[in-house]
Amino acid sequence: MSGKYIVVFKDHVPQSEIDKYANEVNSNGGAVGQRYNTVLKGFSATIPESYLTQLQSFQGDIIDYIEPDSIVTTQ
């Protein structure tokens, strides 16, 4: 089962490495949506559960956090 997530990388990670992981998401049956490179570095994607586990193993090293993609509202 796939889920929609936002993957945010640490500030020191070069764009070429972020692109590599985005391409791997696509290669593993996922689909990258938006790419972020101004306020934060990363992308949103539909990520298969099997590849999500692999990405989560990089948290703390190159990935800052991975969180479910959802709608945010303000009052």
All residue ranges of the chain with pLDDT < 70 are 1-2
Nearest alpha-carbon partner for 43 in 68, 18, 16:
18
CA 34, 68, 56, 59 dihedral sign is: positive
CB 9, CB 25: distance < 8 Å = no
pLDDT tens profile 12-31: 999 999 999 999 999 999 99
Residue 2 is predicted with a pLDDT of 67
Residue 62 is predicted with a pLDDT of 96
Mean pLDDT of the chain: 93
